[in-house]
Structure 1
Amino acid sequence: MPGGERQHPLVYDRVAYAYRGGEEAVRDVSIRLEEGKVVLITGPSGAGKTTVCRMANGLIPHEFKGRLAGSVTIAGRYDSRKLSVSALSKIVGVLSQDPETQLFNPTVEEEIVFGACNYGLPVETIRERTERLLELTRLKPHRHKNPHNLSGGQQQSCALASILAFDPLVLVLDEPTSNIDPIGSQQVLELVARLAREENRTTLLVEHKIEELADLVDEMIVLHEGEILHRGPVREVLEHVEYIDSVGLSVPQVTLLCAKLRSAGWPIERLPIGIEEAVEVLAPLIDREALSRAPQLPPRRVQHGEEEVVVEITGLSHVYRDGTRALSGVDLEIRRGEFVGVLGQNGSGKTTLVKHLNGLLKPTEGTVTVAGLDTRKATIAQMAQTVGYIFQNPDSQIFKMKVGDELAFGPQNVGLSEEEVAKRVREAAGDLEISHLLEKNPFFLSKGEKQRIAVAAVMAMKPDILVLDEPTTGQDFKRAREIMDLAVRLHAEGQTVIVITHDMNLAAEYCDRVVIMEGGRVLLDAPAREAFLARKKLEASSLRPPQVTVLGEALGYREAWLTVDEAVEMLGASGGV
């Protein structure tokens, strides 16, 4: 291919698109992606990010019908309107937001080699790339397993490896790490950036994780309501950090912290984007000795102080039919009214553990008692009235053809009156801001909207115990906080909340107690402030503390900052102006 054609392998020229029957999802978007460059597109839910991805390999306009204006050109000569999706897939590798829909082979290894074999790569090249990708994505121990028996994060890694294996000219990744633990997420993003440079591959990356990508991408584009709001080098764009934060994006904590301090009058000229840089900026401005003597921060919310144990797990082990031992001798107690985070790397046993709480799984060994019910003997219907479980993948939970019917299903099936069912549907839809979707087919909505529908369907049941398995997957930071704020409201009313999450910032901000899983066992069970200072145990489970926690340690604070606002408060008392 001539050099001129490769110079801009993917070009969007004044593109606008409206789905059938809807308003424009994107308008007047022009992007020229250079060879070997990594471009980050970020923005709040509904900004048009997934629509931009679908244009890259012809899903728009061939599979999704609507009004398309402007043009998308691939490899300098292919018009996306004129080349089929199958033909474009050889040039543009796309990882969708939901990787499970892309996995169909019986084993992980066969999934990875499938595309490469079909596109005729040499056998030895396929072998070498497969072994390398299995290693890099931490899937080597699972090479002979069915991909659908893996955790959500492992499925995401498998789908990514299968695309990288056939060496596309352009790589388009729609939130490729939304289900992956923090250290694994960082490794995957570093792998994508490194391969882009080493193999001269143009990469378009849609992500909310600006903090992890700040040093890895060449350009950052912020979409908002279908239009480009800001674009340029990451540092230049992040000068607008407070505005970007206000539209619902998760920006680097140290950047936001320093922007807030600068607004308060601190002499900060250049906003940092990493922890080391933040230490250099802040250390000369504070009294580190005074900071080291600063008192411990108070609890962030009223603690219920209940003594009643509502979840009692004793000697729990679980072995799946394929022989995988997911849990080994777990002992755990949760009291009524606690707000507990269950954290750990992909495959550590988190989801397996909480699926025992509502009877979806039964113990291989040991016992699980929930609100006095032995889950080995109770029916799933009995457990559903006590434990509300929100799945990691909303497609595993949604089955009705109308959103309103989905929300009404649970209350109807426990015998509530029509009036009470309608009331609960209205309340749950209002809380999750999906009232306008009640007549829609949920299968045609975005993953973020589906996630909110799944949450609302469980909320309508008003269970005593709420289990949220990665409830913020596919959500921007604003939506994620809204879901967690709703959980806080329920917790304030006395509900017990158990959250599985890979988002350490949200876990630190919302969870009072943290249970860290590793290798099917409980590695650490401690209050959140104590847990996020246990660096070695966090790393053992592929986790890392929030940026502000690490910054506080580096500046000499002896406790743990868990949020940006806490850091602002403590630093304000120790210098600056």
Structure 2
Amino acid sequence: MPVEEQACALAYEGFGFTYEQGESEVVRDLSLQLSQGRVVLITGPSGAGKTTICRAANGLIPHEFKGTMRGRITVAGRYDSRRYSVSALSKLVGLLQQDPDTQLFNPTVEDEIAFGACNYGLPAETIRQRLEQLLELTRLSEHRRKNPHQLSGGQQQACALAAILAFDPQTLILDEPTSNIDPLGSQEVLRLVARLAREEGRATLLIEHKLDEMVHLVDEMLVMDRGQVLHRGSVREVLEHVEYIDSVGLSVPQVTLLAARLRSAGWPLPRLPLDVTEAVTLLEPFIERASLASLPVPAPSCGLDAGPHSAGGVGAETIIEVSGLSHVYRDGTPALRDLDLQIRRGEFVAILGQNGSGKTTLVKHFNGLLKPTSGTVRVAGLDTARASINEMATTVGFIFQNPDTQICKLKVYDELAFGLRNLGLPEKQVRERVQQAAEDLEIVHLLDKNPFLLSMGEKQRIAVAAVLAMQPSVLVLDEPTTGQDYRRAKEIMDLAVRLHAAGQTVVVITHDMNLAAEYCQRVVVMANGHVLLDAPTRQAFQARETLQASSLRAPQVTQLGQQLGAPWAWLTVNEALAALCTVRKGAGDGA
């Protein structure tokens, strides 16, 4: 790479920061240089300090977020972030924040994408070319004249990213840029970001939990926890510590973790694979294919990581019945088309599909937030078109994709108590339920805080706790793990499992295929307002073409099993580990 492309675009020198109301530094002694044309990944559990690093890159810290800052941040080799305003630095450093909704304010998608580029005076023809290119790359062409706030969460995220890329900043800072985007869309966005970094010499800092999407795209990887860098180096170097990284609650590539556990079990693996292709090449010489093909399907288990959970069943009553449901939004957009669906009491169902497939529109009919254009929706015998929202709230608990649309109080305790007080519960019972929900979600220490000043992950847990305090019989979770590290995501899903075991019906919309595989007994796949597939999870994840048609992809261990010749879908790392240890060559003679 030419010398000029290696110039330092952003430098953190001994950076540390304590928020005004905080008691300790959230980032400590960070030194990091971002060179032009290079992509750096920072990952770590919630609370590691990742978002603080992003806010400091364009001057939001210390100018907008007050506190005590140590060290120095220099932009483009000469601009000290303490001395230059956010508006001055924003042309040089484009920042995509965790919540895209806060960055969208124009009347149409194309206006949003062109806004920054026009303000910074880019040539008109350049703006037109970039607009068309970015609309196509982010799959927003057909939505170009819509209001951005009418898009799905994933489409909003893609729109906000396109708006930043359009004005061509020298440095790009992306805080969880694909948290709301479907799997294949995530891959497309991340590949685009990495390609533009190399082609246009742009320094890029990515904050991501989805490591399996990143392994071949980044030049350097940092793992942080509690404000400090724990591991740093190339992706392959860092992932040699995969079991430790997994232990601090990060979602590591399944095949990498699987190989590490096989190596711990005595398999002489010379390296750890970074993707499914590498894993097949590495593991195939050790496997008896004939034995693998004859392995029986494991029995369903109630263990949290042994397979999909079963409750309810064929004999259970139907609690949600959707018949001929169509919904057309006011702007004329058809979102659902003659859809039929039944969910039985006690089921744990995942609704999957690409952004804009109609998932959120469907579940908003379950509690009457939306009314059918045609068709009917009945929940626990109530016709949702006729029942009031207050009536439905005690039956269906709805956790929104964006917690900011759900939170309305200035104190976390009052947020959790809000629905209970509206029901007229005695204050003693309100306190008991709030305390229990706060303990379940590990937010007791936040009860006196202002929720609007907390991180996206903390706000998500507050929203979940507020709904759980209502104790509804049907729980609908729309992307409940957005902004959470893998440990927190599993904690939320584990809590849903406990409620499910107590008889609650659980419906989850998620893009996290690993969690869907691990927790849900049934999968409904949607595309273009229709149901493409409705099947038990193991069967659904074998349907590669159907999943791909809705921009989905089975978990890595499922893909690995398919390529090695497994006759049934592996759903978790533990299932894959058990199967492979059974069919290892020479396993019976001590080899």
Q: TM exceeds 0.5?
A: yes
Cα deviations by residue, 1:536-560 (Å, 9 ceiling, x for unpaired) = 1000000000000000011110100
Q: What is aligned with 2:69? A: 68
CA distance in 1, matches of 2:361, 2:524: 14
Q: Which 4+ residue blocks in structure 1 deviate beyond 6 angstroms?
A: 2-6
CA distance in 2, matches of 1:6, 1:218: 13
Percent identity for Structure 1 against Structure 2: 69
CA shift for structure 1 position 416: 1.4
CA distance in 1, matches of 2:21, 2:113: 38
The answer to whether 1:19 aligns with 2:19 is: yes
Q: What is aligned with 1:171? A: 172
CA distance in 1, matches of 2:191, 2:148: 23
Count the aligned residue pairs. 576
The answer to whether 1:387 aligns with 2:396 is: yes
* Structure-1-length-normalised TM-score: 0.99
Q: What is aligned with 1:523? A: 532
Counting only pairs closer than 5 Å after superposition, residues 329-344 of structure 1 correspond to structure 2 as 329-344=338-353
CA distance in 2, matches of 1:437, 1:446: 11
Q: What is aligned with 2:292? A: 291
Q: What is aligned with 2:379? A: 370
CA distance in 2, matches of 1:5, 1:106: 37
CA distance in 1, matches of 2:428, 2:581: 52
CA shift for structure 1 position 304: 2.9
Q: Is the 8 A contact 1:548 1:563 kept in 2?
A: yes
CA shift for structure 1 position 187: 0.2
User: Matched residue of 1:346: which SS?
Assistant: coil
Q: Is the 8 A contact 1:428 1:460 kept in 2?
A: yes
Counting only pairs closer than 5 Å after superposition, residues 54-453 of structure 1 correspond to structure 2 as 54-301=55-302, 302-305=310-313, 306-453=315-462
User: Matched residue of 1:480: which SS?
Assistant: helix
User: Matched residue of 2:241: which SS?
Assistant: helix
CA distance in 2, matches of 1:5, 1:492: 57
User: Matched residue of 2:26: which SS?
Assistant: strand
CA shift for structure 1 position 420: 1.0
Code of the residue aligned with 1:113 in structure 2: it is: A
Q: Is the 8 A contact 2:280 2:560 kept in 1?
A: yes
Counting only pairs closer than 5 Å after superposition, residues 480-495 of structure 1 correspond to structure 2 as 480-495=489-504
CA shift for structure 1 position 6: 6.5
CA distance in 1, matches of 2:277, 2:144: 38
User: Matched residue of 1:463: which SS?
Assistant: coil
CA distance in 2, matches of 1:5, 1:165: 21
Q: What is aligned with 1:532? A: 541
CA shift for structure 1 position 4: 6.6
CA shift for structure 1 position 413: 1.1
Q: Is the 8 A contact 2:348 2:505 kept in 1?
A: yes
Q: What is aligned with 2:470? A: 461
Q: What is aligned with 1:563? A: 572
Cα deviations by residue, 1:219-263 (Å, 9 ceiling, x for unpaired) = 101111000010110000000000000001000000000000111
Q: Which of 521, 527, 536 is the aligned partner of 1:512?
A: 521
Q: Is the 8 A contact 2:96 2:177 kept in 1?
A: yes
Q: What value does the CA root-mean-square deviation take over the aligned residues?
A: 1.1
CA distance in 2, matches of 1:238, 1:464: 42
Code of the residue aligned with 1:40 in structure 2: it is: L
CA distance in 2, matches of 1:235, 1:284: 22
Q: Is the 8 A contact 1:6 1:75 kept in 2?
A: no
Code of the residue aligned with 1:538 in structure 2: it is: L
Q: What is aligned with 2:588? A: none
Q: Is the 8 A contact 1:318 1:327 kept in 2?
A: yes
CA distance in 1, matches of 2:301, 2:344: 19
CA distance in 1, matches of 2:312, 2:414: 35
Q: What is aligned with 2:8? A: 8
CA shift for structure 1 position 21: 2.3
CA distance in 2, matches of 1:80, 1:495: 51
Cα deviations by residue, 1:169-190 (Å, 9 ceiling, x for unpaired) = 0000000000000000000000
Q: Is the 8 A contact 2:5 2:201 kept in 1?
A: no
Q: Is the 8 A contact 2:312 2:344 kept in 1?
A: no
CA distance in 1, matches of 2:4, 2:183: 39
CA distance in 2, matches of 1:34, 1:292: 49
Q: Is the 8 A contact 2:182 2:511 kept in 1?
A: yes
Q: Is the 8 A contact 1:14 1:27 kept in 2?
A: yes
Q: Is the 8 A contact 2:354 2:527 kept in 1?
A: yes
Structure 1: gaps of 5 or more residues? none
CA distance in 2, matches of 1:458, 1:288: 48
CA shift for structure 1 position 418: 1.2
CA distance in 1, matches of 2:408, 2:17: 29
Cα deviations by residue, 1:357-408 (Å, 9 ceiling, x for unpaired) = 0000000000000000000110000000000000000000000010000001
User: Matched residue of 2:181: which SS?
Assistant: coil
Q: Is the 8 A contact 2:197 2:203 kept in 1?
A: yes
Q: What is aligned with 1:502? A: 511
CA shift for structure 1 position 572: 1.1
Structure 2: gaps of 5 or more residues? 303-309, 586-590
CA distance in 1, matches of 2:170, 2:298: 51
CA distance in 1, matches of 2:48, 2:506: 30
